[in-house]
A and B are shown apart, each in its own frame.
Chain A
Amino acid sequence: MNLHVGLTDFLIVSAILFSLGIYGVVTRKNAIMVLMGIELILNSANLNFVAFTRFGLMNLTGQVVAVFVIILAAAEAAVLLAIVLNIHQQLNTVNVDEVDKLKN
Chain B
Amino acid sequence: MNWYDIIFYAFAVITVVSAVGVVFSRNILYAAFSLLFTFFGIAALYVLLTADFIAVTQILLYVGGILVLIIFGVMLTSRAFNVEVKRGFLKRIPAVFVTAALAGTLIGVLTTTRWPSVNFLPYEETARPIGVLLMTQFVLPFELASILLLVALVGAVIIARREKEKRA
Q: Could you tell me which A residues sit within 8 Å of B by CB distance?
A: 1-13, 15-24, 26-30, 32-33, 35-37, 39-40, 43, 46-47, 50-51, 53-57, 60-61, 63-64, 66-68, 70-79, 81-86, 88-90, 94-95, 97
Contacts and interface: CB of A to CB of B under 8 A. Distances in A.
Given A29-B90, A56-B118, A70-B62, A94 B102 contact: no
B163 A89 contact: yes
A67 B130 contact: yes
19 contacts: A12-B107, A13-B12, A13-B15, A20-B16, A20-B19, A21-B23, A22-B98, A23-B23, A30-B85, A33-B28, A36-B70, A47-B45, A55-B115, A55-B120, A56-B119, A63-B53, A70-B62, A74-B149, A81-B69
A35 B73 CA distance: 11
B49 A10 contact: yes
A20 B49 CA distance: 22
Interface string B42-67: 10011001110110011001100110
A17 B16 contact: yes
Given A26-B99, A51-B49, A7 B115 contact: yes
Interface residues of B, number: 86
Contacts of B50: 54
Contacts of B4: 1, 3, 5
A86 B162 contact: yes
Contacts of A30: 28, 78, 85, 88
Contacts, number: 248
B76 interface: yes
A7 to B, nearest CB: 5
A10 B143 CA distance: 31
Contacts of A33: 28, 31, 85, 88
A70 B155 CA distance: 19
A78 B152 contact: yes
Nearest to B121: A56
B155 A79 contact: yes
A56 to B, nearest CB: 5
A56 B103 contact: no
A28 B12 contact: no
Interface string B63-106: 00110011011101110000001011111100110111011001
